[in-house]
Structure 1
Amino acid sequence: MTAFTALVLAGSRGEPDALTAYAGVSHKGLIELSGRTLLERVVTALSDAGASHIGVSTADAAIADLLGKIKVAATIEALPASPSPSLSVRQGAEALGLPVLVTTVDHALLQPEWVIRFLADVPEQTDVAALLAPEAAVHAAAPETQRSYMRFADGRYSGCNLFYLRNARALNVIDLWRRIESYRKQPWKIAAMLGPGMLLGYLMGRLTLDQAVARLGAKAGVTATAVRTPYGLAAVDVDKPADLDLVRQIAG
Structure 2
Amino acid sequence: MTPVEIPEISSGAGQSDQHPLWTAIILAGQRPEGDPMAVHCNVQYKALIPIDGQTMLERVARTLLASPSIGRIVVLAQSPEDLQAGLPPELTNNAALRFARSTDGIATSIHDVIGTDRAPWPVLVTTADNALLTRDIVDSFFQGHDGQDVAVGVVERQTMLSAYPDARRTWLKFRGGAYSGANLFALHNAAAKPAVAFWSAVEKDRKKGWKIFAHFGPWLLLRALTRTIGFKDAMAQAGHRMALRAEPIILPIAEAAIDVDKPSDLELVTGILERREG
Normalising by structure 2, report the TM-score: 0.83
TM-align CA RMSD: 2.3
1:53 is matched with 72
Structure with bigger RCO (C-alpha 8 Å, 6+ apart): 1
- Is residue 22–residue 121 contact of structure 2 (8 Å, CA) maintained in 1? no
2:136 to 110, 113, 117: 113
Q: Following the alignment from structure 2 to structure 1, what is the Cα–Cα distance between the partners of residues 210 and 40?
A: 36
The 1:224–1:62 alpha-carbon spacing in structure 2 relative to 1, beyond 3 Å, is same
- Is residue 7–residue 102 contact of structure 1 (8 Å, CA) maintained in 2? yes
**Most deviating of 104-113 and 132-141:** 132-141
2:168 is matched with 146
Q: Following the alignment from structure 1 to structure 2, what is the Cα–Cα distance between the partners of residues 175 and 240?
A: 28
* Gapped regions of structure 2 (runs ≥ 5): 1-15
Q: Following the alignment from structure 1 to structure 2, what is the Cα–Cα distance between the partners of residues 17 and 182?
A: 16
- Is residue 210–residue 221 contact of structure 2 (8 Å, CA) maintained in 1? no
The 1:74–1:205 alpha-carbon spacing in structure 2 relative to 1, beyond 3 Å, is farther
2:126 is matched with 103
- For residue 49 of structure 1, give the secondary structure of its aligned residue in structure 2: coil
AA matched with 1:80:
R
Q: Deviations over 1:165-204 (max 9, x none)?
A: 11001111111112223788xx999666310000000011
- Is residue 127–residue 223 contact of structure 1 (8 Å, CA) maintained in 2? yes
2:27 is matched with 9
- For residue 79 of structure 1, give the secondary structure of its aligned residue in structure 2: strand
2:264 is matched with 242
1:27 is matched with 45
Q: Following the alignment from structure 1 to structure 2, what is the Cα–Cα distance between the partners of residues 112 and 192?
A: 35
Task: Return the offset for 1:74.
Answer: 6.1
Q: Deviations over 1:94-126 (max 9, x none)?
A: 3311101110000011001111111121123x1
* Gapped regions of structure 1 (runs ≥ 5): none
The 1:98–1:18 alpha-carbon spacing in structure 2 relative to 1, beyond 3 Å, is same
AA matched with 1:87:
T
Q: Deviations over 1:196-235 (max 9, x none)?
A: 0000000111010111110111122210111110001100
Identity of aligned residues (%): 33
- For residue 101 of structure 1, give the secondary structure of its aligned residue in structure 2: strand
Task: Return the offset for 1:65.
Answer: 2.4
AA matched with 1:15:
E
Task: Return the offset for 1:143.
Answer: 2.3
- For residue 265 of structure 2, give the secondary structure of its aligned residue in structure 1: helix
Q: Following the alignment from structure 1 to structure 2, what is the Cα–Cα distance between the partners of residues 183 and 138?
A: 23
The 1:223–1:37 alpha-carbon spacing in structure 2 relative to 1, beyond 3 Å, is same
AA matched with 1:134:
E
**Richer in helix (by share):** 1
1:63 to 83, 89, 97: 83
- Is residue 55–residue 92 contact of structure 1 (8 Å, CA) maintained in 2? no
2:9 is matched with none
Normalising by structure 1, report the TM-score: 0.91
Task: Return the offset for 1:89.
Answer: 1.6
Q: Following the alignment from structure 1 to structure 2, what is the Cα–Cα distance between the partners of residues 28 and 246?
A: 17
The 1:202–1:241 alpha-carbon spacing in structure 2 relative to 1, beyond 3 Å, is same
- Is residue 149–residue 157 contact of structure 1 (8 Å, CA) maintained in 2? yes
